[in-house]
Amino acid sequence: MAGERSLLVGVGISAIGIGMYIPFSLVFFHHVTGLSFTLVGVVLTATGLAGLAVMPLAGSAVDRFGAKKVNLLLYAVRSLGFALYPLAGSLPAFAAVALVTALADRSFPVVQQSLIGEVARGGARDRLQASIRALQNAGMGAGALVVSGVLALWGTDGFTYTAWGNAVAFALAGLLVSRVKRVEGRANGEPGSAGSAGSAKRPPAGYRMVLADRPFLGLTAANFLTALGYSALSVLFPLYISTWLHGPDSLTGAAFTVNTALCAGIGVLIAGRVRRSGARRTRSAALGALLFAAAFVGQIALGTVRPGQTATLIALLVIVVVYTVGELVHSPSGGALSVSAAPEGVRGRYLATYQLSYSLASALAPSLFTGLLALDGRLPWAFLTVAALGAAFALTRLERHLPAEAVYATRPSPAPAPPAAAEAAPREPVTAS
């Protein structure tokens, strides 16, 4: 793929920038702007919600101007935003910069997924999904280490240097991504291509087309159920350990370390094995959901037995490994499935709709998990088990309703037609009796 290395290096560099502030977001912005934690929290919540509202507009912009142009614009906005944060000492200034930056941050996954659809075809989409996810995990881990070193050297002044470092990281990532070239033409049978019967029946008509596409909406709903499971590690896991298992906070750190190391270290390997096996994307994504369910059942069993600290640590690490393998199996296939199921002319709108399933799950997870946890520590895991099983069932049921280009990373060749009976058997010579 033309410019693939530049794209991946750019993703890795921007992930380092994200890792430099995400783990310390409230503290980061408090020291950079000088505002109180309360005001920073209110502004970040409000701007984050505003960012969700603009995601449909990002999808429309992708369809009109192309994913690469919008991607570069978002990198530029994020770079400018972090360059301005140290200068935004008043509440109005901070709110303005945070709002513009949040709009770019929330829209970025939609645009990046659309960019994968523009620059890759077939199994290359699955490979890019896996590579990008591995680099994001590795980059965020590296970013957290970098900011820890910066703070150790310069104290809280290091947050200002980190902000400027983020600005440089996003600008450099944008320059690298600008070298990526779009794949011309469409894959045979891809939605929206000349060879697709569906495109003749459904010309691009904005979000009306998305809302009329029941299989894609079903795919989005199935992803919402799986996305709740993705939220479990960061939201539910720490609370469950401290309130139900009464374990030390170090268990949470160990779980995150294992998850990040596996995602960065073997993510591409597992995705490659899945891709080379020829598994349908719907079925490999369903397998990932089933592994999620197995990990959640393990949490229920652990929360019922509640063994000693050593046994709990071993069990948790095994559960996290199963959970992470499920994530690594599901993520590339699920991402490529959504990209390939979206007709090219309205891919941005389709993927904006699909990404809302992640955003909605992230917004609902804290209140949902804490409410269930207050009743019984095992109840949220039981809910997530049912959700994961429902997602796996929905994916397999949707398989026959989705375009073949979406279901198969490499479209299977049709079986050759059997030879005609007249051609199969040689004719007997006719002789006079």
- If you write DSSP's letter for every residue of 114-171 in order, what string do you get? HHHHHH--THHHHHHHHHHHHHHHHHHHHHHHHHHHHHHHHGGGHHHHHHHHHHHHHH
Digitized pLDDT (tens) for each residue of the chain, 433 residues in all: 677 889 999 999 999 988 887 766 777 788 888 888 888 888 888 888 888 888 999 999 999 999 999 999 999 999 999 999 888 888 899 999 989 998 998 899 999 999 998 888 888 888 888 899 889 888 888 887 888 788 888 887 888 888 899 999 999 999 999 988 877 655 444 555 433 333 334 445 689 999 999 999 999 999 999 999 998 988 898 889 888 998 887 787 788 888 888 988 898 899 889 888 888 999 999 999 999 999 999 999 999 998 888 898 899 999 999 999 999 999 999 999 999 999 988 999 999 999 999 988 988 898 899 899 999 999 999 999 999 999 999 999 999 999 998 999 876 555 455 554 444 444 444 444 3
Q: How many angstroms separate the CA atoms of 85 and 166, rounded?
A: 11
- pLDDT of res. 411: 62
Q: Which residues have a Cβ under 8 Å from the Cβ of 155 and sit 6 or more positions away?
A: none
Cβ atoms of residues 77 and 126 within 8 Å? no
The helix/strand/coil state of 205 is: strand
Cβ atoms of residues 130 and 329 within 8 Å? no
Q: How many angstroms separate the CA atoms of 107 and 127, rounded?
A: 23
- pLDDT of res. 137: 83
**244-249 — which CB contacts under 8 Å span 24+ positions?**
244/303, 244/373, 244/377, 244/378, 245/302, 245/303, 245/306, 245/312, 245/377, 247/309, 247/312, 247/313, 247/316, 248/309
Q: How many angstroms separate the CA atoms of 409 and 120, rounded?
A: 11
Cα 350–352–353 angle (5° rounding)? 65
Q: Tokens standing for 287?
A: 């397998």
Q: How many angstroms separate the CA atoms of 1 and 20, rounded?
A: 30
